Structure 1
Amino acid sequence: MKTKLILLSLLFVSGSLLAQTDWSKYNFEKEHKRKVSINGGGSKTLKNNKTFINGYAIHQATLMKGSESSATKAVYSKAGLGGIDHNSYQIMVDELYLELVNGLQDAGIHITDGGDVLTSDFASDRKSKEKRGEFIGNVGTETSRDGKKKITDSSILGYRVGAVHEDVSFYPTDKNLYLSTNITTMGNFYQKLVLKENYNLMMVDFYVTFASFDGGRGYKSINLQTNAVMAVSVMIYVITPGGKVEIYYKDMPVWGNADWSLGLEEVKENASTSEWLGLARSGEYYIMADPKKYITEAKSMIRALQNDFIKGIKTEL
């Protein structure tokens, strides 16, 4: 029988699904099996060489889509995030980046802003031959970019909570970057710079989502519940010329709360999205957020993850 795509039911749960967490006291090492290991000469080069945070971004999901299906029917829910002020989010990103830099320096790592790296012989030559998917330079005030999932993927890559169809990536203001998304040349892009110019590279990415979807099937019905809840995951890579530095959290994402949610609103045909939807670009429904509460929760979670990462580095060094 031909499958039918229909919206059978859309339930929405708003409110505090999980108890409020004091992130300053949260044990990531225990709860998420965080591990930091520095092998070979990695410890020496991490302490003695300059470290360039060549990539730092906070990726905020803006459109998520969940689905549930049977042999003959399918139900889906598409929800955007509304109410978040772009400028306030950027301020959060700038503040968190500065906190990370200061924390790493306090841990004994010599951080460079990357100006010397980008003007090095190898980086300068690479920039003159810049390939597709590579970025070498300063972002200035162009600190955000919109993302959209590929047709062949179920979600934008990187998010440990799936179903992310659109997002906005934020970079610190006036940040020097040395990044590549070109899979075929990525290895040489990073490794040759590290070896030829004797720098450490560090890439930090946080992924923030705002919803989860719970499905269920009865004898004659399919239900799909949309839950407002924040989740954050992190990916950190460190490359040194002297040895391997491994940083990972086995159990991701970290689940936050939902007290920032103001409820679900249906898109109105004549509504001006630029007036009230905030970060969201498209969608059939919007989970409207209290901007102050949303940013406070995201900032607290990311700050705690950064501090835990710094703690792990200190222990290994």
Structure 2
Amino acid sequence: MTDMTAATPATPDAAKVETPFQRFRSEFFESRVATFALATFGVIVLLAVLAPWITPQNPYDLAQVDVMDGRLAPGSEAFAGYTMWLGSDGAGRDLYSAILYGLRISLAVGLASGVIALLVGTVIGLVAAYAGGRIEAIIMRIVDLQLSFPASLVALMLVAALGKGVDKIILALVVAQWAYYARTVRGTALVERGKEYVEAAQCLGISKARIVFRHILPNCMAPLIVVGTVQTASAISLEATLSFLGVGLPQTEPSLGVLIANGFEYMLSGRYWISVFPGLALLFTVVSINLVGDHLRDVLNPRMRK
């Protein structure tokens, strides 16, 4: 008797649907440069967070600083008995400790100003795109006026008027950066506003606020992430520049810009390490963030790939 049972083809195990997050993760880690940059930035953040526990001194606690240790070369032994692997600055502070404490302030200023500027610029850009008409025209003229000046000049004028301090420089950086986010969000939201799902939501009587923040905003996140990484790196560089010029953070606040400025006068005398090592820390931080941002742009917008 012939067996008439048809063989059921086996379903291949490989036929699995990737989630958007899995697809994004696989595409991002395809680049070795971006992976290395992300790992470098992760190490920098970890060192900054753990600074109080992995450094031999608090460089801004006068009780732990000895002026007899001033301008020691890398590898020298401090008066307290520990080795200063990166040397010391003119005030006798261990440079390794000062750099890690400076990273804490520089990262905090850059991230705080970036997040606040993103929130302010996103709200203003969404209002301009969805309201349209005279409101959009007024907002975009203000944005164009702000972007016609370099961000460094805007921040410099504000810090000069407000004075020194962490809160002052964060406010200055927010004012100098919010327009970049507003223009990015407004351009993306204008495209989304004309799509069918927005028109359908309007026909269903959904409120404008819900349409803007629940439907349009999620589709603006991809360019915002890219702009956010680039502007965070820019904020860290700008804070270091202002502190180097003496109008940013005071000498009592650890910052990479302050450390570079402290060693500038000793460069010609051969004590290069006082400025070079903080400068390298700033360079690695900014470059790693920019490399991650560049690759995020390629992953989130395939049309921008080289």
Which one has the bigger strand percentage?
1
TMscore range, shorter length: under 0.3
Indicate the structure whose relative CO is greater, using CA pairs within 8 Å and at least 6 residues apart.
Answer: 1
